[in-house]
Amino acid sequence: MEITVFEIVSLVLNLVLGGGFIVTFITLKSTKKKAEAEAKAAEIDNADAIIKMWRELAEKMEEQYANVSIQVEKLSKEVNRLRSINSKIVRLLDRITPENMIEMVEKIKQEINSNEENSNHIPFSDSAIGRMQKSQSGYAGAGSNG
């Protein structure tokens, strides 16, 4: 019994093709490529979602920064205004003597009220300065204890 080359080739082909080895190998290779493509697509989708999230966060932070900058600017102006008023009042207080107390108190009140009116604040009409002026001039209006 002699085996020919044709029989050997036929036997090998039957083993390889009949056992499903090549079909399984080809299917496995295509399944692996498909899984890699799906993983890359999912990775790209995740990256897009993260980029969108960071962009929204950056836009929100930019808006908040602009609002805070506006508030800081307003507060800086208010602080400068109050420093100016304080400085003027201190200079006026340094000039107070018993002889000119009523006059200086009136100047201080005018300074406070003019600055308050310019900045849309309600002036303090019943302040300590106002009560002192009322007691010096003999005025007994509302808010005094006399």
Listed by start position, the domains of the chain span 38-137
Percentage of residues in the chain having pLDDT higher than 90: 35
91 close to 112: Cβ distance less than 8 angstroms: no
> What is the rounded CA–CA span in Å between residue 4 and residue 123?
119
Predicted TM-score (pTM) of this structure: 0.46
What's the pLDDT score for residue 140? 42
Per-chain mean pLDDT for the chain: 80
Q: What is the pLDDT of residues 16-58, one digit of tens each?
A: 676 676 777 788 888 999 999 999 999 999 999 999 999 999 9
What's the pLDDT score for residue 135? 59
Question: Is the pLDDT higher at 124 or at 35?
Answer: 35
Q: Is the pLDDT of residue 141 over 70?
A: no
124 close to 130: Cβ distance less than 8 angstroms: yes
What's the pLDDT score for residue 99? 84
> What is the rounded CA–CA span in Å between residue 133 and residue 129?
6
Q: What is the pLDDT of residues 65-80, one digit of tens each?
A: 999 999 999 999 999 9
